[in-house]
Every structure is written in C-alpha cells, then in structure tokens.
Amino acid sequence: MTQPLPRRDFLAAGALAAVAPTAIAASAAQNEKVPVPVVTADAPAFGRIKHSVCRWCYPSLSLEDLCRFSKAMGIQSVELLGEDEWKTVADAGMICAVANGPTTISKGFNRLENHDAFVKESERLIPLVAKAGIPNMIVFSGNRAGMADEQGLENCTIGLKRVMPIAEANNVTVIMELLNSKVDHKDYMCDRTHWGVELVKRVGSDRFKLLYDIYHMQIMEGDVIRTIRENIDSIAHFHTGGNPGRHEIDPLQELSYRGICTAIADLNFKGFVGQEFIPTRDPVVSLREAIALCSV
C-alpha cells in the first residue's frame, strides 16, 4: 500500500459487458461526461464481495470521475482519502471505506515518542471519520530501524490502547496494514500476519484489527487462503495487487484472486475488498475486469 496521494480472466458481468472498453477509455482519457450504465452494488451479478478501490492508484482520473466510473461497476467505496476528499465521495452516493490516519509507513506506533502526537490527532480525526460514515481509519507500525519486533509489539500496544476509547466511543475501527519489507517497504515492522495478529490480541479491542494486503503477504508468506481462514477474526479489510509487479490481477500473475475472494466470501466476511493494483493498461478497463473477477 500505500500512502495517500501524492505517493502511490476477465469475466463479463451483467450490464458491464455492454459498456465498450474503448468508450470508457476515451472518456477517462478526455475526462468527458459520457453516460455509463448504473449497476447497484447489491445486484446479483456482483455476488458476495463488497468492493472498494484505492484512490492513489488512479492519478490520471479526477476523484469525481473515479467515483462515477466505479459506481457504475458496482463499487461502493473509494478509499484512502483525506478529510478534504470525503464529501466528493459522499456526493457521488458512495462511501470511503478507509480514511487516512495520523501515521506514515515509516513513522508509526512502534516509537513511544510518536504517541502523544498520534493520539492527539486520532482524538480529533476519529469523530470526524465517524460523522462522515467511514468505518475504518488506517495506521502503520513504522519501520524497525534496529528495534526488536517484541519491543515494537509492546510499544504499538501502549499507543493503540490510548486510541481505543475514542475509537470505541465512535464505532470506528483502527486498522494496521500488513506490508512487505522485502520489495516495497524495506524495514517495515508489521510485515508478517502472526505479528499483526499478536498485536490485535494484545490491544484487545474489537475496534483494532488488520488490513490484510494480499499482494504484500504473498511476497512475505504465501499460503494466502489458509492464512486468511485461520485469522479472519483479526482482519477488517483486504487489499489486492498482482504479484510480481503490483499490477493487474489477471492470469499473467501468480495469485488466483477468484479463488481468494471465494474463500473470503465463504467466511461471511462483512468488510470490503479494496483494489490496490497499479494499472499498466487503460485504468478503467483494468478496474472493471478486476471487479468482475472478484465478484463471486
């Protein structure tokens, strides 16, 4: 994943098949206001997955156009947004499934000296997140920088427990993302599922869970479906991405996203699956194909 801006088997699905890719591509490229068919997110064609998309992956589209195209695909959420962007998504009749929180990937809750600032900003931000109808706020562990993993667990637990009262009072779930430290985020501490699950246990609140990034954990661990099944109670949100390369989730990469999404749906998961791949082709066409693939 993923920092907020500015950082970072196609299956025909109902009415979407009628939308010519060239027409959508042209509209995206020219930012034209052409009509697109509206398909409700609970339509049978879209199955049991609640779909979201990460805004930072689509810098060539305005937020308004990303919302318009996404809503037509049955996507309910555009995520990883700052508070100045929430209204745009709401005005489009969508939600933001994940709000940006007070941390950065490299500077997170594993350092005690960061806690006062992070807690203060969380106390300001979480009531606003709740008022906007956003279910989750993202945070990060921070980098190791020589710190032992056990010490990082202790420090993250201390800081996050300070945030839980305000999160619990506002029914907002704070989610820490699992990222790979092998390719994309060297030295990041929350880079293994077992570490994240242990942190969830120590914090001990229903309002703290994990964001399980399938791409990142494929790099670090593999065994994705078994890991999800064994730890679903600790997971509040998912992200996608093709491996290797973090691009389209098509048959040219090694993850079977239809199988993974079927496993997630079979667990009666109520959260969102967020598309977070970086398109190498027309972004709207690639996104539409990913949603069709993941609609199980």
Q: Is residue 24 part of a domain?
A: no
Q: Is the pLDDT of residue 14 over 90?
A: no
H or E stretch covering 139:
strand 136-139
Prediction pTM value: 0.86
CB 215 within 8 A of CB 8: no
Q: What is the residue range of 112's domain? A: 48-294
Q: Is residue 212 part of a domain?
A: yes
Q: Is residue 102 part of a domain?
A: yes
Average pLDDT estimate for 123-132: 98
Alpha helix ranges (H) inside the chain: 21-30, 63-72, 86-91, 115-131, 149-170, 193-203, 214-220, 224-231, 257-266, 283-294
- State the Cα–Cα distance between residues 60 and 147, nearest whole angstrom: 39
The amino acid occupying position 269 is F
Number of domains within the chain:
1
Q: Is residue 22 part of a domain?
A: no
Q: Is residue 4 part of a domain?
A: no
Q: Is residue 107 part of a domain?
A: yes
Q: Is residue 18 part of a domain?
A: no
Residues 191-223 have pLDDT tens digits of: 999 999 999 999 999 999 999 999 999 999 999
CATH of the domain at 192: 3.20.20.150
Say which residue, 11 or 69, is predicted with more confidence.
Answer: 69
Beta bridge partners of 213: 239
Q: Is residue 218 part of a domain?
A: yes
Average pLDDT estimate for 254-281: 98
